[in-house]
Amino acid sequence: MTITRWMPGLATLRDYKLASLPYDLAAGLTLGAVMVPVGLAYGELAGLPMAGLYGSMLPLLAYALFGSSRQLVVGPDSAMAAIVAVAVAPLALGDPGRMALLAAGLGVMVGVLCLLAGVLRLGFVADFLSKPVIVGFMHGLALVIIGAQLPKVLGLKSEGETTLEQFASLAARLGDANLMTLSIGGASFAVILLCRRFVPRVPGAVLALVGSVLAVVWLGLDKQGVAVVGKIPAGLPGLSLPVLTLDDFEDLLPVALVAALLSFSDTMITARGFAARNRYRIDGNQELLGIGMANLVSGLNQGLPISASDTRTAVAEAAGGRTQVTCIVAAAVVAGVTLWLAGLLFYLPQAALGGILIASAWGLCDFAEFGRLWRFRGISLAGALVTLVGVVTLGVMEGILVGVVFALVLLLRALAFPVGAVLGRTPDGRWHDTGYRADAVPVPGLLVYRFAAPLFFANCNQFRDRIEALIAAAPAAAPVTGVVLDGGAIVDVDLMGCETLSEVYEALQARGIGFAIGNLRDRVKRDIERGLALVPGGGDDITFPDVAAAASHLGK
């Protein structure tokens, strides 16, 4: 194992192309400018304003080295901040110092759990995130981002826990919107889209940030009801290991398990979404290591537990970021601002940030994906829409869960009610589906049936019923005298499946109908033979190398 196997970021730096540097620098500057007020906001939500900022520096470097995504931005988010506020704050009993200690300890525990899961190679759980789920999530996420940022752009306060409720509350109060705030947010949104459309090399988000700050300073807009970021405390934290008592550890362990699951799920769904858009692959086990190291470093740096940031990843992509160098630059920007330039962001209007984030959300949308899903298979579109509606009406993680459950239900349905086919013989002696090959002609008196699924407890009755129905449907002039099962698509079988094969064999034999199986995979053939040997009266050896041999055995 080379060190780059565990730290892909080193390979990225080793093979880095200087042509990407201007894009990564511009995107990093934009991302860093956005991360400062956003980190403070999430820290405020958790009850630790500076912890949100501290979680926006070193964790980016850790993920850039250990993560497998070229674009993903990590940092504090609403879910992690809410977990700290709801589950950790009561344990602190109003003591700010103890609150900071417990939050940092939680970050370390989440990091260790993710690292352990990565070493045990548990990243396969992300394979349950199907294409429809990812498409629905990305578009639902765009609406979530827009719903969260519209209050800043309109100068209003929204109500409600879900995005749908927030949209409804804003719609009822549109007449009270601050026109000056709306102008700043709308102008920022327009500048970004225009630059993206006509001069893609120009970082529109940076222009929007600089222009909005100058407008506030020159026109005194902060005195006309335009909300600004305000004072940002200066200084960097030191690295220290939060020392928890055994009682603290026991209290935080359930919270850490939930936070680790949320962090990894959010990371995988976001990383895969952006990877799919840019045509590369994500390694689930490496993502566990990446998000684990990022959380560990955040805890050691007195930051909040962190996760993937959908919004900030969209900002980096929209600003032209190409590699994780963008995150390294952004981390340096956040550190530099915290040390020396905090005062420059005092007049940054919240509406400009909202406009930038809404423009990023718009960039997440690819409506052609819905058309592709519909043209391929309508049920795929249904999966994407179910996920989208779930994200908007229930919440991001809840919506993902709904989409995954829907996909699993479809999977179970496909396994329980698999596609089958009646085969006919072509002039060259091969056997093909009669529904797709006009020259595939059924042999009189012989039913050749392909069962395209594992034969197990959930579909045994379906298998038996289909055989009986096809025999009953045969014309009276040419009744079925032999049945051949093409087992080429049967990839697995359980004991109940073997019992069903034995029962079908005996039932057909009692009616004077022969039964044979051909074209089985070696492992499945071995399992069937072993299973039939365990079934009382399991019958003779009925397996053959191919369909032709099975048909020949039945005299066809």
Domains of the chain, earliest start first: 21-154+165-408 (no CATH), 420-553 (3.30.750.24)
pLDDT reported for residue 203? 67
Higher-confidence residue: 472 or 411?
472
The answer on pLDDT for 93 being more than 90 is no
pLDDT band at residue 235 under the 50/70/90 scheme? confident
Give the pairing of strands 446-451 and 420-425.
Answer: antiparallel
- Taking residues 533-537, report their average pLDDT: 70
Instruction: Give percent of the chain with pLDDT exceeding 90.
Output: 39
Burial of 94 (C-beta count, 10 Å sphere; 0-12/13-18/19+): exposed
Q: Supply 272's token pair.
A: 């895969």
Helix axis angle for 350-364 and 131-154, nearest 10°, is 160
* Helix locations, 203-283, DSSP H: 204-219, 246-278
Residue 465, pLDDT score: 95
For residue 128, the model assigns a pLDDT of 66
Residue 433: per-residue pLDDT: 92
CA distance linking residue 463 with residue 461, whole number of Å:
5
Mean pLDDT computed over 320-345: 87
125 touches 107 (CB < 8 A): no
Please tell me the predicted confidence (pLDDT) of residue 516: 93
For every residue of 331-387, DSSP letters joined together read: HHHHHHIIIIIGGGGTT-BHHHHHHHHHHHHHHH--THHHHHHHHH-HHHHHHHHHH
Cα radius of gyration rounded to whole Å, the chain: 30
* Average pLDDT score, the chain: 87
**Cα 386 to Cα 384: distance, rounded to the nearest angstrom:** 6
Name the most confidently modeled range: 7-11, 128-132, 233-237.
7-11
For 482, the enclosing helix (H) or strand (E) is strand 482-486
pLDDT surpasses 60 at 518: yes
What angle is formed at CA 39 by the lines to CA 38 and CA 41, rounded to 5 degrees? 65
Whole-number pLDDT of residue 11? 84
**DSSP class of 441:** B
Q: Tell me which residue of 203, 200, 205, 171 sits closest to 187, measured CA to CA.
A: 205
Instruction: Give the CA-trace dihedral at 188, 191, 194, 195, to 10 degrees.
Output: -120
Contact between 465 and 528 under an 8 Å Cβ cutoff? The reply is no
Q: Which amino acid is at 406?
A: F
Share of the chain above pLDDT 70, in %: 97
Reading phi first (left if > 0) and then psi (alpha if -120 to 50, else beta), residue 539 is in left
Return all residues near 353 (Cβ < 8 A) that are at least 6 apart.
34, 37, 38, 149, 152, 229
Which ranges constitute the DSSP H helices of 378-481? 378-393, 396-416, 460-472
Residue with tokens 């506030």: 216
- 457 — pLDDT class (breaks 50, 70, 90): very high
User: What span, in angstroms and rounded, lies between the C-alpha atoms of 450 and 422?
Assistant: 6
Of 334-338, 395-399, 461-465, 528-532, the least confident:
395-399
Residue 446: strand, helix, or coil: strand
| Cα 453 to Cα 414: distance, rounded to the nearest angstrom | 8
Quote the tokens at residue 70. 């070229």
Tell me which range, 100-114, 121-135, 153-167, 407-421, is most confidently predicted by mean pLDDT.
100-114
- Please say if the pLDDT value at position 446 is more than 60: yes
Q: What is the pTM of this model?
A: 0.73
For the stretch 191-225, pLDDT in tens is 988 987 888 767 677 788 889 989 999 988 888 88
* pLDDT of 292 strictly over 90: yes
Q: Distance between CA 160 and CA 98 in Å, rounded?
A: 31
pLDDT in tens, 96-129: 899 999 999 999 999 999 999 998 888 777 666 7
Q: Say if residue 211 is exposed, middle or buried (CB neighbours under 10 Å; 0-12, 13-18, 19+).
A: middle
- The number of residues in the chain equals 556
Q: Which helix (H) or strand (E) holds 422?
A: strand 420-425
Q: Return the pLDDT at 149.
A: 85
3-class DSSP string for 120-153: CCCHHHHHHCCHHHHHHHHHHHHHHHHHHHHHHH
